[in-house]
Structure 1
Amino acid sequence: MSDEAVLSDGTVPWAGLLAETVARLTEAGVDDAEISARRIVEEASGWDGADLAVHLSDPATIRGVARLDAMVDRRLAGEPLQYVVGRWSFRTLDLMVDRRVLIPRPETEEVAGWAIGEAERFDAPTVIDLGTGSGAIGLSVATEVATSTVLLTDVSEDALSVARANLAGIGQAASRVSVAHGSWFEAVPGELRGTIAVIVSNPPYVGDDEQLPEVVDRWEPRGALRSGSDGTRDLMVVVDQAAGWLRASGSVVLEMAPAQTDAVAAQARRSGFTEVEVRSDLTGTPRSIIARK
């Protein structure tokens, strides 16, 4: 820290720490060093966005500096920024995230939007988010569709702990959300059979031997990524069983890899869905199927 960056009373302002963090991450070759540095300083200082700009000249606290140093060390070790700061935005939500769940991604925000659109076709829809992870999709439905009732399920108790933490942060909408542990439809109460308006899922869809970016393979949970030799094992389980759980004109919304959409769409038709559509994301890449009963 240069002498110019130290205040007259010997304390260090957040501006100086921000500049130092940018320099350290840049020197280490961290991708998007400036973005990482700003998010880390925001988390350490407690000031977000425009508020940080107002308080950059404030002296950093001892506790804040210690937290910043710990986060910088984690980022320098290659840990994704989302896990380092412990939270990430998803549509209207600010979600807690850590290594127990996948990092929320923009393409999944689109899938959540499609599920919301399907739910809005009904007056009081029951929606199930299978394999919920952090709860991102299901909690988005609950907060954006005021008449919905939502069930979050996951086979991972660790993931459900994260989902419950995020559920606690959505306010009054939480009263319309429940959580259940189990593998796919095993977690769904039998009395819901034939009553569900929308089944949505971002299941594992990466082949067991498929190469992933090193940062994904190293840090994100394997169980939420890998799904058999071609990555479609869990997708097919959901598609094969979904129709029996849906009400008349109900729909299933699934995220998947572009190369999987044709095969999953064909399986949906064989499973009794009468209207099957492949949706592309904002980049024009096939990303999801929506199948209506």
Structure 2
Amino acid sequence: MSDNTITWREVAAETEARLSVVADSPTNETRWIIERAAGFDGPEYVLGLDENVTERGMHFHDLMVERRLAGEPLQYVLGRWGFRTLDLYVDRRVLIPRPETEMVAGLAIDELKAMRAAGIDRPVAVDLGTGSGAIGLSLAAEVERAEVWITDASADALVVARSNLAGIGRAATRVRVEEGSWFDALPPELRGSVDLIISNPPYVAIGDEVEAIVREWEPQSALFAGEDGLDDIRTILEDAPSWLRSGGVLILEMDPLQLETASELARSFGFVGIETHADLAGRERSLVVRRGD
């Protein structure tokens, strides 16, 4: 049967059956793959199912299905994934944006909006280890007049972040992209003037078990951080006070089991107002601290 004599509805039925081997939700994955292959957008999907399949669309569809059946994460197969208000380009050079991190970004957005309400017209925020740019670009997109620096030690990751920068419109003019390890990426003149620093750093301990799909496909440098998973968190906690203004905020995502140790480290480096916040599953996931006077 030639491609132009079948509809996307027929393709969807076959695709869903095939994806049931690898997908927790084959119905959703089928929809997302067909939307991508056919160029449907949201509500167009239901109406578009009765359209005839094009040769080009079928070729794109088949490539994506084969990649997914080979075990590649859906987000990389699609080449895009939603994060808060953004539609991000993602590939194997960056971690897949996750719902837990959306909530961490939301904490930073709330803090920046509160700063603006308190009279800081152009709050300065830094997203360390930005990866795809998900957190930092969300800050710029959702907080009016915020000036945002996004950094990463990986030049490859910053290629992805820059491609996503173009997708936030006029807010992109308020974003700076810098390559370097943690605070080494920032210009010296920012010292002592940053209002908020946020990071989702590597926090998996070497030797800890992670899902096979994560270990096999996502960048290892963005996952592992020493014997206890705290190497990068320690570095950030130690160096952040010299970059934050008095009362400035530091927000870190980490494993819930690390929060107690990280909180103690924060106190030892002079942070005050220490808070923890839960993720969607109710597990404490993020640390929020403030630089003391």
TM-score for the superposition, normalised by structure 2: 0.95
Change (3 A) 1:29 1:119: closer
Q: Which residue of 1 aligns with 2:159?
A: 161
**In the alignment, which of 23, 37, 45 is matched to residue 52 of structure 1?**
45
The one-letter code of the counterpart of 2:284 is P
Give the Cα separation in 2 of the matches to 1:220 and 1:190.
Answer: 32
Report the aligned-residue RMSD. Answer: 1.2
- The answer to whether the aligner puts 1:92 opposite 2:92 as a matched pair is no
Gaps of 5+ in 2: none
| Residue-by-residue CA offset, 1:112-133 (whole Å, 9 max, x unaligned) | 0001112123221100000000
**SS, match of residue 5 in structure 2:** coil
Match of 1:186 in 2: 184
C-alpha spacing 1:130/1:166, structure 2 compared with 1 (3 Å): same
Aligned: 1:14 with 2:5: no
Distance of 1:150 and 1:29 partners within structure 2: 39
Give 1:268's match in structure 2, choosing from 255, 266, 269. 266
Letter in 1 for 2:144: A
Rounded to whole Å, the distance in 2 between the matches of 1:136 and 1:37 is 25
**Cα distance change, pair 25–129 in 1 and its aligned pair in 2 (3 A):** same
Tell me, in whole angstroms, the C-alpha distance in 2 between the residues paired with 1:73 and 1:59: 21
**Aligned-partner Cα distance in 2 for 1:74–1:168:** 27
Give unmatched runs, 5+ long, in structure 1: none
Runs of 4+ in 1 over 2 A off after TM superposition: 28-31
How far apart, CA to CA, are the structure 1 residues paired with 2:261 and 2:148? 28
Distance of 2:235 and 2:196 partners within structure 1: 16
The answer as to 2:35 corresponding to 1:42 is yes
Partner of 1:240: 238
The equivalent residue for 1:103 is 96
1:24 lines up with 2:18 in the alignment: yes
Is 1:64 aligned to 2:57, yes or no? yes
How far does the alpha carbon of each residue in 1:202-227 deviate from its partner, in whole angstroms, 9 at most, with x for none? 00000011110111111100000000
Counterpart amino acid of 2:16?
V
Which residue matches 2:129? Answer: 131
Letter in 2 for 1:115: A
Give the 3-state SS of the residue equivalent to 2:28 in structure 1: helix
Which residue identity does 1:74 align to in structure 2? R
What percent of counterpart residues are identical?
Answer: 52
Structure 1 position 29, deviation (Å): 4.3
1:258 aligns with 2:256: yes
Structure 2 letter corresponding to 1:15: R
Task: Report what 2:145 is aligned to.
Answer: 147
